[in-house]
Amino acid sequence: MSQHRRDQCVIVVGGGLAGLMATLHLAEAGISVDLFSLVPVRRSHSACAQGGINAAVDTKGEGDSPWIHFVETIYGGDFLADQPPVLKMCEAGPELVYLLDRMGVPFNRTPTGELEVTKRGGGTKYSRGLFAGASTGQQMLYALDEQVRRHEAEGRVRKFEGWTLCSLLLDSAGRCRGISAMPLAAKMTVHAFPAWGVLLATGGCGGLYAKTTTSLICNGAAASLAYQQGAHYGNPEFIQFHPTAIPGEDKCRLVSESLRGGGGRLWTYRGGKPWYFLEEWYPAFGNLVPRDIASRAIYRVCREMDLGIDGKDQVYLDVTHLDSRQLEVEFGGAIEIYEKYTGEDPRTVPMRVFPAVHYSMGGLWVDASHRSNLEGLYAAGECEHLYHGANRLGANALLACLHGGKVVAQSVVEDLDQEASPLPGREIEAEVERQEDWNRRLLEGGGSENPFELYWTLREAMSHYVAVVRTSPDLQKMREILTELKVRYTNLNLGDSGRWANPALALARDLGHMMVLAETVTAGALAREESRGAHYRPEFPERDDSRWLKTTVAQWTPDGPRLWYVPVDTSLLTPRPRSYATDFLEEVRR
Amino acid sequence: MARDILLQICRQLEPGSDGWWEEFVLPHRADLTITACLMMIQRDPMTREGRRTRPIAWEASCLEEICGACSMLVNGVPRQACSTLVDGLKQPIRLEPLKKFPLVRDLLVDRSRMFEELKTIQAWVPGVRLDDTGPGPRIAPELQQVQYALSRCMTCGVCLEACPQVNRRSAFIGPAAIGQAWRFNLHALGAEAAEARLRTLTGSGGIDDCGSAQTCVEACPMKLPLTDSIAALNRDLTRLALRDLWRKWRMIWRSRREMTGSEG
């Protein structure tokens, strides 16, 4: 540890795929890294990615290429993503997968021992998905964790697992110079960690919703606190619903999209007979349409046409016709999850599913090199807004994390020779004292509101009012609820004033940040008067490129978010209407 | 279905302090998990006697049995709270922290030893360079299946909890780390450190401490072939020991020959 120079240390917050990838690249460049994570990094949310990772390796000779992958990603994202960074990501795909292969990820194999590829998700007809059983994300997370552990054992990386981010340390010019943080499973006092710069890889904000497939740790609090300290936030209104989740009390467990990719069919009863609504509505792609389209179709079937199975919010996802060996080898894990939580066997009985929040396309605003608007602050992974536009394609999330983690590390290395005079000790102490003061107010608050109850009220309201179909009255209602919740938040009672591993203290802090982010998501949704990708406004059902082919940028103010819009870089592919009723690639190929 | 759920939860506010039991009554609903019950208590932390209690600490994240966080004892059996359905459990349902790890608070324990042990056995593929190109070695699908099965270990600690040989008086590394040692010894590039991994598993705390109780395999939520790992590494260790013996014998034999040679 003797080579650990504080002024050259870079802090990485978040130990999922993006954070670990960045850590590895920084460590290999000889930079000391302090890695902070809410949980042991091996328990990060990347583990939940079941399906696979897209990389246009074209080993099946279908004529796939990074360019086609790019076209489908842009098209799937309804043209809202800046195009050059997306093309770079698609071009990087094959080598990133090869790197993970060399790290020992047990990817599925062909009979001759090569990497196997299959169709893993909607929005494509190409075999582009590489996978490791039904837990590709878990396997990739473990491989990176293992490589980082090697650096840790050799002293280049220090890990702070079980710590929560409290704030960024900013100098008077607004430059980010470190963080304040607090351990969760010990005495909860705030510590300062000055550093050269800070990289956030803190994941998405699906946890703003009750009906979500994301882990409990994905509540957006870290990104929100950076936003409240001056970092801009991009495209907050774009929240992805996954069409096939198992409705659940504590969470909605995901049924992997790879089941649709591998031949699973969605249907419900109409006039007493099975009706394959996706196949009828989208003849060219059928069950392979992207997630936003499938989710809206299920909403339409259940809510507008009242054709949900047993009159409930659910339709069938059917794999009973698939070959039993394919079910076992490719989808064994996905099927086991369904069995475990419902007690029913998907091999013989169709699964009952309904959409749930799954991913946030929006996130901290960063430029193409992953630099935020604050000097010294960077972001990668689901917590930034860069790659998925208005809707993410299946199996692109793992790719974006790996690629983003690599690019952000390169940017940090480029910037490292910039002089950064150390933050004065008194400013650091003042920031720690601000955070401690908040802790004291929370712990000693003698109010009457249970923070856990408020947390669920917020999440349930978001699931109800800012979901797949967003009417103006619903969005207005959510704003009113947030105003009310903020008042109740000033009247908290944690039920425990102790400092030792107090779960209510951690939650109360997060809840404050979550309300700010929920307000920003709602404001973005209300302001965008069009329908694009995952954002659907029935009063404005069409995409409107003349007014809204623009990235939303949000800036925090004490009076609520200030929004403005910047044009999207469409220099590589001219925007065109998005339809999965016909094969759009034929047009592109011509 | 108006049946209520009776939960008994073992509470302890910090290491070394006195513990106590608390009872909670919850309304029954279909498909409830233990996690869902704990969340209901968070929202309304009222004991059966109608006393408001402090928030219960436990570890949880993914809630779909893949992150390994929420291991605890449910009716004395170590398992994941998030995938344990209330229906089918004997009531009252008793929740306790894992006993083989240091307690932090309530149902929350410190499993950091497991991550440290991954360092001890060098659970990684060595020599990976980020700027190299191209895929790794070819792997037969049959071998990939074994590697995958081993690589699903989520360091949840359930196997250590279930193993009678893991306890406060023993240095036994436990089944999880042994499984990972085998996983990397089976990898073409990982095998570079195979001998080093084997040597960390010799002697006290190593593989010899396994009592073949088979409880680890039965308890593992991911159904890892843990006893297969122990058997396979045992064979490799025997081979290594024989080779060591042969080397030693050859050294002695050579030095004796040199001695007799000089006398002649």
**pLDDT tens across A161-185, in order?**
999 999 999 999 999 999 999 999 9
Q: Tell if the CB–CB gap between A215 and B67 is shorter than 8 Å.
A: yes
Angle ∠(A562,A568,A571) on CA atoms, nearest 5? 165
Nearest to A13 by CA among A186, A301, A231: A231
Contact (CB, 8 A) for A204 and A383: yes
Q: How many Å apart are CA A392 and CA A403, to the nearest integer?
A: 15
Q: Tell if the CB–CB gap between B128 and A103 is shorter than 8 Å.
A: yes
Which helix (H) or strand (E) segment holds residue A291: the answer is helix A291-299
Which helix (H) or strand (E) segment holds residue A54: the answer is strand A53-54
Q: Determine contact: A187 vs chain B, CB below 8 A.
A: no
CB contacts of B115 in chain A (<8 Å) are 40, 42, 149, 161
Angle between helices B175-185 and B226-263 (to 10 degrees): 70
Q: Tell if the CB–CB gap between A251 and B125 is shorter than 8 Å.
A: no
Judged against a pLDDT cut of 60, whether residue B233 lies above it is answered with yes
Active site amino acids of A: 291
Q: Tell if the CB–CB gap between A501 and B66 is shorter than 8 Å.
A: no
Judged against a pLDDT cut of 70, whether residue B1 lies above it is answered with no
Buried b (16+ CB within 10 A) or exposed e, A287-302: bbbbbbbbbbbbbebb
CB contacts of A340 in chain B (<8 Å) are 65, 83
CB atoms under 10 Å from CB of B245, counted, come to 10
Q: How many Å apart are CA B259 and CA B84, to the nearest integer?
A: 70
Strand partners, A200: A13, A379
Task: Give the pLDDT of chain A (590 residues) as one tens digit per residue.
Answer: 334 444 579 999 999 999 999 999 999 999 999 999 999 999 999 999 988 999 999 999 999 999 999 999 999 999 999 999 999 999 999 999 999 999 999 999 999 999 999 887 778 889 999 999 889 999 999 999 999 999 999 999 999 999 999 999 999 999 999 999 999 999 999 999 999 999 999 999 999 999 999 999 999 999 999 999 999 999 999 999 999 999 988 999 999 888 898 899 999 999 999 999 999 999 999 999 999 999 999 999 999 999 999 999 999 999 999 998 888 877 877 888 899 898 899 999 999 999 999 999 999 999 999 999 999 999 999 999 999 999 999 899 999 999 999 999 999 999 998 877 789 999 999 999 999 999 999 999 889 999 999 999 999 999 999 999 999 999 999 999 999 999 999 999 999 999 999 999 999 999 999 999 999 999 999 999 999 999 999 999 999 999 999 999 999 999 999 999 999 999 999 999 998 887 777 766 65
Predicted local confidence at residue A588, as pLDDT: 64
Predicted local confidence at residue A2, as pLDDT: 37
Q: pTM above the 0.90 mark?
A: yes
CB atoms under 10 Å from CB of A4, counted, come to 13
Predicted local confidence at residue B84, as pLDDT: 96
Which helix (H) or strand (E) segment holds residue A212: the answer is none
Cβ-Cβ contacts under 8 Å between A and B: the total is 199
Contact (CB, 8 A) for A383 and A352: no
Q: What are phi and psi of A198, to 5 degrees?
A: -135, 135
How close B110 comes to chain A (CA, Å)? 8
- DSSP assignment letter at B71: E
Q: How many Å apart are CA A164 and CA A37, to the nearest integer?
A: 7
Q: How many Å apart are CA B23 and CA B53, to the nearest integer?
A: 11
Q: Looking at this protein, which amino acid is placed at residue A122?
A: G
Question: Could you read off the pLDDT of B38-72 as tens digits, one per residue?
Answer: 999 999 999 999 999 999 999 999 999 999 999 99
Q: Tell if the CB–CB gap between B130 and A216 is shorter than 8 Å.
A: no
Q: Tell if the CB–CB gap between A216 and B147 is shorter than 8 Å.
A: no
> What is the Cα gyration radius of chain B?
24
CB contacts of A115 in chain B (<8 Å) are 135
Q: Tell if the CB–CB gap between B13 and A502 is shorter than 8 Å.
A: no
Q: Determine contact: A151 vs chain B, CB below 8 A.
A: no
Question: Could you read off the pLDDT of B156-171 as tens digits, one per residue?
Answer: 999 999 999 999 999 9
Q: Determine contact: A344 vs chain B, CB below 8 A.
A: no
Going along chain A from its start, the domains and CATH numbers come out as: 243-355 (3.90.700.10), 425-548 (1.20.58.100)
**Per-residue CA distances from B119 to A25, A253, B116, B160, B173 (Å):** 20, 32, 5, 17, 12
Contact (CB, 8 A) for A248 and B31: yes
How close A523 comes to chain B (CA, Å)? 28
Judged against a pLDDT cut of 80, whether residue B104 lies above it is answered with yes
Q: Determine contact: A207 vs chain B, CB below 8 A.
A: no
Q: Determine contact: A185 vs chain B, CB below 8 A.
A: yes
Question: Could you read off the pLDDT of B65-95 as tens digits, one per residue?
Answer: 999 999 999 999 999 999 999 998 999 999 9
Nearest to A522 by CA among A463, A455, A583: A463
Contacting residues for A558 by C-beta, under 8 A, at least 6 apart: none
Q: Which residue does chain B place closest to A495, by CA atoms?
A: B54
B152's tokens: 């699903």
Nearest to B85 by CA among A172, A362, A339, A403: A339
Predicted local confidence at residue A7, as pLDDT: 53
Q: What rounded mean pLDDT belongs to chain B?
A: 95
3-state secondary structure A442-489: HHHCCCCECHHHHHHHHHHHHHHHCCCCCCHHHHHHHHHHHHHHHHHH
Predicted local confidence at residue A1, as pLDDT: 36
Predicted local confidence at residue A4, as pLDDT: 43
